[in-house]
Amino acid sequence: ADAIRINPSILAADFVNMQAELGRIRAADFVHVDVMDNHFVPNLTFGPQMVERIQATSPVPLDVHLMISDVDRWAPGYAELGAASVTFHLEAATDPVRLARRLRGIGARAGVAVKPATAVDGLFDVLDEFDQILVMTVEPGFGGQSFMADQMPKLRRLSDEARRRGSQVWLQVDGGISEATIAQAAEAGADTFVAGSAVFGADDPDDAIASLRSGAAA
């Protein structure tokens, strides 16, 4: 991959000091915003009202990751509030291509995510309908879990397929990304890296972002 993006996940930030936390990640490419509904995943974060405030406050554009059911109903609203990208789960979508077109029509980058047990092969023929594909490297729902290296073959096949087809789609990984694991994911073809605890658990989040960036480029 030529360009590398580091997207810190505010799931690991202090929720009651969100404005200050957003100001600590100025070296980020996008802020990763995890929306959970306690239905698609067994955890709950926040919804459109909070994300609208984050959008108004963040100096860095938003990369919204929807871990929710009923994406047809909710995903377009996140594009309308101005998120730079909106990623929904393939497992939650009735017609992923139609929803991606709708998100692009509103002006957002359209993303689709897959859980560890979900295959990506069905996406090969429609890669260009999406701006980014998120290969989860943990079971979605919680920060601080261990990186699943067994997802690397899936990522590599996706990346080979994208290259073969001349696709511009970004390949994102999310879960357990740290200085110790980022090189593996980069080597398997990822170009966009979400990191929660590795960034907000550091004394200086911007330094952690820089270290991740060099780890991905190595």
Residues forming contacts to ligand DX5 in the complex (CB under 6 A) are 9, 11-12, 32, 34, 65, 138, 140-145, 174-177, 194-198
Q: Is 65 near Zn ion (CB under 5 A)?
A: yes
- Closer CB to ligand DX5, 29 or 34, in the complex: 34
Asked whether residue 58 is marked as a ligand-binding residue, the answer is no
The C-alpha atoms of residue 194 and residue 177 are separated, in whole angstroms, by 7
Asked whether residue 111 is marked as a ligand-binding residue, the answer is no
Asked whether residue 197 is marked as a ligand-binding residue, the answer is yes
- Closer CB to ligand DX5, 100 or 182, in the complex: 182
- 11 token code pair: 């799931």
Query: Of 121, 171, 176, whose CA–CA distance to 149 is shortest?
Result: 176
- For residue 45, give the DSSP letter: -
Contacting residue, 63, 131, 174, 191, with Zn ion by CB under 5 A: 174
Residue 145 Cα to chain centre, angstroms: 16
Amino acid symbol at 98: R
- Closer CB to ligand DX5, 159 or 197, in the complex: 197
Asked whether residue 215 is marked as a ligand-binding residue, the answer is no
Shortest spacing between CB 147 and ligand DX5, in angstroms: 8
Q: Is 34 near Zn ion (CB under 5 A)?
A: yes
Residue 104: how many CB atoms within 10 A of its CB?
Answer: 16
Measured between alpha carbons, how far apart are the two ends of the chain, in Å?
A: 12
- CA 211-213-216 angle, 5° bins: 110
Span of 58-66, 72-80, 83-91, 165-173 interacting with Zn ion by CB under 5 A: 58-66
Shortest spacing between CB 9 and ligand DX5, in angstroms: 3
- 104 token code pair: 């692009």
| R_g of the chain computed on alpha carbons | 16
Binding residues for substrate: 9, 65, 141-144, 174-176, 196-197
Residues that bind Zn ion (CB under 5 A): 34, 65, 174
Binding-site annotation: residue ranges for a divalent metal cation: 32, 34, 65, 174
